[in-house]
Every structure is written in C-alpha cells, then in structure tokens.
Amino acid sequence: MPDLDFQVTGVEPATHGLVPLLLFHLEATNTPADEAIQSVSLQAQIQFQCPQRGYTATEKEKLVELFGTPERWGQTLRNRLWTHANTTLAPFAGKTSGRLPVPCTFDLNVSAAKYFYALEEGDVPLLFLFSGTVFYAAQDGRLQVQRISHEKECAWRMPVNAWQDLMDCHWPNTAWITLHRDVFDRLCDYKRRNGFQDWEQTVDRLLAETPEPALHVEA
C-alpha cells in the first residue's frame, strides 16, 4: 500500500503563458520504493502563513485593509487561503518530480493579490495541504485506488519577487482595478468634462484634489 510524501523544491514562471502562471516544482516520494505507481491525481490547498514573517512599516500600512491596524494583529494575523491547485503525476516507482501550476492575478479586489502587492521583499511563507488519489498496481497486477492522507502537507518559503516578476512580465509598470459600473460612469464623465487624454491624468488630478488622511503605523 503506497505512502506518499510531498515536498516543494522551487518555483518558476510559465514561459509564454497567456495568463500569469507560477509552476511549483514538486518532489513525491513513495514507500515502499519498489511499488509501481500508475499515476497520482493530486490536489493542493495553498495557504499564506502570514504570522511566519516580519513586516516593515510600509508593508503594515498596505496590509491594514486585510488585517486591520497592527495593534489588532494578535487577533487578526492568521493563515489565509491563497488558492487551490491540481496536477497529475506520471507513472513512477520510489521517487518522481512534477509541476503544480497556480494561476495568479493582479486584481486588487482579490485578497491574495492584496497580500502579495503589500510585500516589498523577502519570502512568502506558504503551506501546501495535499489530497487526491493514487492509482497503483497490486502484487497480482490488478489496479488499486487509494486516497492520499489528509495529513500530507509541507511548508515552503517562496521569494516575493517570483510573484512580482510575473506581474511585471504580464503588466509592466501597470496595475489594474475593477469598479462598479456607476462609479466608472462618473469617473468617465469627470475625464470627459475636464478634457483629460488618459486615465493616468484623470486619476492624478483626482488625487491632487483630495487631501491624504494621516495614517500612523508603528514599525
């Protein structure tokens, strides 16, 4: 009966992808090593281990929307779900490697994008919770099916610049947001009435007209 363990060993961007995609390198090890694994249908829940890193004053200010002000972080700074992902591992015995594709977004209405955007440097502590199905050959050659134990997990620290570089590749020097239709209509009307040529000029003028509130965040 197979007993699989999983480790994340690295990450790379998908080259020439139509959408931003990170490929996590996986290593799967089975015991007993001589058992023939036909395939593995693997799922992973990926969480941010937010309390497992420190934050600069600037990062804390950007994270207020997610966790509140720092004096509340003792109650609010918890692990957060990033995403779910899945992949299939080819036949192997003993040990094999694979890649786990994870789509990414720069939509700042999405909590995961807000978290990534707030981080300046260092690592992102991630927790991978694995599940899925193992197809293997019994001693008599018959195909057997077994669920992966829900205890299978691994922690891995992803460099922040892996996500940053991926966003820069797809949207260089650009960010994007979504607006409710009525808000966009008002913004479009403001742009037209003032004769602005592009959205950058429109937003720059609005920001110049609106005083910034003071926000004090301790380092």
Please name each of the domains of the chain with its CATH number. 3-170 (2.60.40), 179-211 (no CATH)
- Full-model pTM: 0.85
pLDDT in tens, 84-103: 999 999 999 999 999 999 99
pLDDT in tens, 62-88: 999 999 999 999 999 999 999 999 999
Token pair recorded at residue 57: 């004053």
Token pair recorded at residue 15: 């080259």
Q: How many CB atoms lie within 10 A of CB 164?
A: 15
Bridge partner list, 45: 84, 129
Report how far residue 162's alpha carbon sits from residue 20's, in angstroms, rounded to the nearest whole number: 11
